[in-house]
Amino acid sequence: MPRRAMPKVQIRLRSVEVLGLDLPMISSFKTAHGTTSKKRTIIVRAEDADGVVGWGEAPAGDLPLYSADTYESTWYALTRLLVPLIVGKQFDGPAELAAAYAGYQGYNMAKHGLECAAWAIASVKLDRPLRDLFGGNKEGVPTGESFGIKPTVKDLLDEIEERVAQGFCRIKVKIEPGWDIDVLAEVIATFPDVPVMADGNTGYDPASPGPWEKLDELGLLMIEQPYPGDALIELAELQSRLRTAICLDESALTPGLTFAALRLGAGRIVNIKPARLGGLTPSLAVHDRCLDQGVEVWCGGLLETGIGRGFNLAISSLPGFSLPADMSPARLFYAEDLVDPTFDIRKDGTIAVPDLPGAGFHVDEKRVRKYQSEAWTSG
Ligand code: OSB
Ligand code: MG
């Protein structure tokens, strides 16, 4: 059952800029996939025939470790495939625009960045915030922090202490073989009142015994993506042995794959990352069906700047998003955000859902240009 009427509003993009940005990071982020210490991201700036501007972000990584998408493949898809297909054409709304390239396989982050810009334009033209267009009802999004792998357990505990004091209401610990059971046991002993979860980022071999039975005894909120994305049979076998819910991240690349994984029992919770799922329209579809099926979802992140986070916050206002989000404020990673004012966690552990029409936040174009290392403009 569709839960919203997709907004009808004429969109005809007269020009689209694809901008490659080099963002220096003030702290690096280590997961089982590797370490990110410099972030390249792609920002989309679309201008409608009526002069309305919309921004979007495609937060692809440098290397195809998290998913097949990279900065280069996203650049290629936007500049050679997606933008040329839609520029100058008339659409009845952002979902219709996204449908024009929905038949193209892959390039999910590129699709997402472009769809976001179209939604931002629709939101401004209708003078309604994205939350309303999505049918969201929450004013704030409970938010946790995702803690990378650190040199020592003490480094991790110190950082968690700081974040919990700032209000973050759930602890997500990145794990890899050798950095799991003991680390999590100490985290739980030190912060007994805060829900704790683990994220394996596909770093464990299904053929090895792994730390799972011991982790299961710790009472974690969930274990995110312990095995490779396509190891659905092995994930289902593991889930059947554990009380702790497995959460799908790298496995959930499209709505169809997500529903297949759930049907197989490969997990019981879905981390919805609109960029990984190829846009807001497929993410709304995953949300709606999970809500119908009683599957809990929450919104993850890919180290987006405030531009990408605005869309993630808006979708997180939907009723099915029942668990804390990964939505670190830009100050934790970047010297400055690309939106001004930026957002931050509130004392009650939530981040306010923006109600400004468009991307949700005011994009500081000067800053975008300052970090821009390459630019392409449609015809
Ligand atoms: O697995 O959730 C993940 C960042 C990059 C790649 C994968 C993941 C993450 C995070 C980021 O955990 C959390 C955030 O964006 O705040
Ligand atoms: Mg994850």
Res 63 pLDDT > 80: yes
Number of other residues whose CB lies within 10 A of the CB of residue 46: 28
Asked whether residue 373 carries a pLDDT value surpassing 60, the answer given is yes
Q: Which atom of ligand 1 is nearest to the CA of 303?
A: 15
Q: Give the residue whose CA is nearest to atom 12 of ligand 1.
A: 146
Two structure tokens written together for 243? 């009380």
Share of the chain above pLDDT 90, in %: 97
Q: Which two tokens stand for residue 311?
A: 């869309």
List Cβ neighbours of 343 (8 Å cut-off, separation of 6 or more). Answer: 306, 309, 313, 329, 351, 352, 354, 361
Query: H or E segment at 314?
Result: helix 306-316
The pLDDT value given to residue 379: 79
Residue 24 φ/ψ region, left for φ over 0, alpha for ψ in the -120 to 50 degree band, beta for the rest: beta
Q: How confident is the model at residue 19 (pLDDT cuts 50, 70, 90)?
A: very high
Ligand 1 atom 6 nearest Cα: 302
Instruction: Kindly report the protein residue whose alpha carbon is nearest to atom 14 of ligand 1.
Output: 301
Q: Is 335 exposed, middle or buried (0-12, 13-18, 19+ CB in 10 A)?
A: exposed
Q: Strand 196-199 relative to strand 246-248: parallel, antiparallel, unpaired? A: unpaired
From 133, 178, 74, 153, select the one nearest 315 (Cα to Cα).
133
| Mean pLDDT, residues 249-271 taken together | 98
Task: Check whether 337 has a pLDDT greater than 90.
Answer: yes
Q: Using CA positions, which residue lies closest to atom 9 of ligand 1?
A: 302
Of 29, 63, 146, the residue with max ligand 1 atoms within 8 A of its CB, to mutate for a pocket test, comes to 146
174 is catalytic: yes
Backbone angles phi, psi at 211, to 5 degrees: -90, 15
Instruction: Compute the distance from residue 333 Cα to the ligand 2 centre, in Å.
Output: 17
32 pLDDT tier (thresholds 50, 70, 90): very high
Residue 111 bears catalytic tag: no
In tens, the pLDDT along 343-357 reads 999 999 999 999 999
HSE toward the beta carbon, residue 330, CA cutoff 13 A: 21
Give the pLDDT mean for 322-344.
Answer: 96
pLDDT at residue number 2: 60
List CB contacts of 33: < 8 A, sequence separation 6 or more: 65, 66, 201, 202, 203
The ligand that comes nearest to the alpha carbon of residue 223 is 2
Q: Ligand 2 centre from 165 Cα, in Å?
A: 24
Q: Is pLDDT of 282 > 60?
A: yes
DSSP codes, 182-224: HHHHHHHHH-TTS-EEEE-TT-S-TTS--SHHHHHTTT-S-EE
* Mutate-to-test residue for ligand 1 from 145, 303, 328, highest number of ligand atoms within 8 A of CB: 303
Strand, coil or helix: 279: coil
Bridge partners of 17?
45, 377
Contact yes or no for 82/133 (Cβ under 8 A): no
CA-nearest residue for atom 7, ligand 1, is: 302
> Ligand 1 pocket: which residues have CB below 6 Å?
31, 66, 146, 199, 201, 249, 300-303, 326, 328
Identify the residue whose tokens are 């969109």.
11
Helices (H), the chain: 71-76, 83-86, 94-99, 108-126, 130-134, 153-166, 181-190, 212-216, 232-241, 255-264, 274-277, 280-293, 306-316, 365-371
Q: What angle do CA 1, 359, 365 make, to 5 degrees?
A: 160
d(CA 249, CA 272): 7
Task: State the catalytic residue, choosing from 111, 273, 347, 370.
Answer: 273
pLDDT in tens, 177-232: 999 999 999 999 999 999 999 999 999 999 999 999 999 999 999 999 999 999 99
Find where tokens 């829900």 sit.
195
Euclidean distance between CA atoms 219 and 203, whole angstroms: 21
Report the Cα–Cα distance between both ends of the chain, in Å, rounded. Answer: 40
- Which amino acid does the sequence have at 298? W
> Which atom, in ligand 1's list, is nearest to the CA of 225?
1
In this prediction, residue 6 has a pLDDT band, given cuts at 50, 70 and 90, of: confident
Output the residue whose Cα is nearest ligand 1's atom 4: 302
What integer is the mean pLDDT of 249-266?
Answer: 98
Rounded to the nearest whole angstrom, what is the distance from the C-alpha of residue 249 to the centroid of ligand 2?
5
- Average pLDDT score over the chain: 97
The alpha carbon of 347 and the centre of ligand 1 are apart by a number of angstroms equal to 23
* Residues near 46 by beta carbon (within 8 Å), at least 6 away in sequence: 13, 15, 16, 17, 53, 54, 55, 56, 114, 117, 118, 120, 121
* Distance from C-alpha of 23 to C-alpha of 368, rounded to nearest angstrom: 10
What is the pTM for the complete model shown? 0.97
Confidence of residue 7 (pLDDT cuts 50, 70, 90): confident
- Report how far ligand 1's centroid is from the alpha carbon of 379 (Å): 35
The closest-lying atom of ligand 1 relative to the alpha carbon of residue 326 is: 16
Residue 1, pLDDT score: 53
pLDDT digits (tens, 9 = 90+) for 106-120: 999 999 999 999 999
pLDDT of 330 reads 94
Separation of alpha carbons 332 and 218, rounded Å: 28
- Which one of 23, 27, 28, 31 would you pick to mutate in the ligand 1 pocket, going by the greatest count of ligand atoms within 8 A of its CB? 31
Whether residue 330 contacts residue 361, with contact meaning beta carbons closer than 8 Å, is answered with no
Whether 317 has a pLDDT exceeding 90, the answer reads yes
DSSP character for 68?
S
Atom of ligand 1 nearest to the CA of 304: 15
Q: Which of 174, 214, 347, 370 is catalytic?
A: 174
Radius of gyration of the chain (CA): 20
Residue 3 has pLDDT above 80, yes or no: no
Helix (H, G, I), strand (E, B) or coil at 165: helix
Distance CA 113, CA 154 (A): 38
Q: Give the model's pLDDT for residue 365.
A: 98
Query: How far apart are alpha carbons 29 and 144 in whole angstroms?
Result: 16
